[in-house]
Amino acid sequence: MSLHSLYKAKTTSRDGEDGFTLIELLVVVVILGILIAIAIPTYLSYRKSANDKSAQSDLRNAVSTFEVCNSDVGYPTAVTAAGVMTGCDSQKNLSLSSGTQLRYEGTVASYVVYSTNTGGTTNKTYCYSSVNGGSVKTASGAMATATCPA
């Protein structure tokens, strides 16, 4: 076997051992980039929506707890942003989801409570008024200055 035929045998490719070209690899990377660009904003939107629903659910649970407290001694006199209540006989505390904050404005006879979640939609606040009753509503404004619609 000559040196020339040995060199030719080593440099020719065999069937099935061809690799991907650079263009094919770039096309795959671009397609993956497009799919990721579509998927990430959708995922983040779902997370914000889930955090908003968490704030609404925590507010509904707080209302139930306030009503139990009212049947004992009246509405709480204060509730911290973390859900610690004062003014109830049993010193009940609210169980809040991660990131949910409450703002309570109340007397022994009535209250308005606001909730938001730091991971949710920016400046989206929910409220409930014991005077108006009904369901949880979307408040106008950020948590610190929100007002509850009638």
Query: Taking the domains of the chain in order of start, what are their residue ranges?
Result: 52-145
pLDDT band of 4, cuts 50, 70, 90: low
Predicted local distance difference test score (pLDDT) of residue 144 = 84
Determine the Cα–Cα distance for residues 41 and 2; give it in Å rounded to an integer.
63
Determine the Cα–Cα distance for residues 44 and 92; give it in Å rounded to an integer.
34
pLDDT in tens, 95-106: 899 999 999 998
Query: Best-predicted range by mean pLDDT among 14-23, 78-87, 99-108?
Result: 99-108
Regarding pTM above 0.75, the answer is no
CB 61 within 8 A of CB 126: no
Determine the Cα–Cα distance for residues 124 and 111; give it in Å rounded to an integer.
20
Predicted local distance difference test score (pLDDT) of residue 17 = 64
Predicted local distance difference test score (pLDDT) of residue 12 = 56
Residue 56's alpha-carbon distances to 23, 29, 95, 102, 106, in angstroms, are: 50, 41, 13, 11, 19
Determine the Cα–Cα distance for residues 12 and 10; give it in Å rounded to an integer.
6
Element containing residue 61 per DSSP (H, E): helix 22-72
Does 114 or 92 have the greater pLDDT score?
A: 114
Q: Report, as an integer, the average pLDDT of 105-119.
A: 88
Sheet of strand 100-106: strand arrangement: 100-106, 111-117, 125-129, 137-139
| Percent of the chain clearing pLDDT 70 (strictly above) | 86
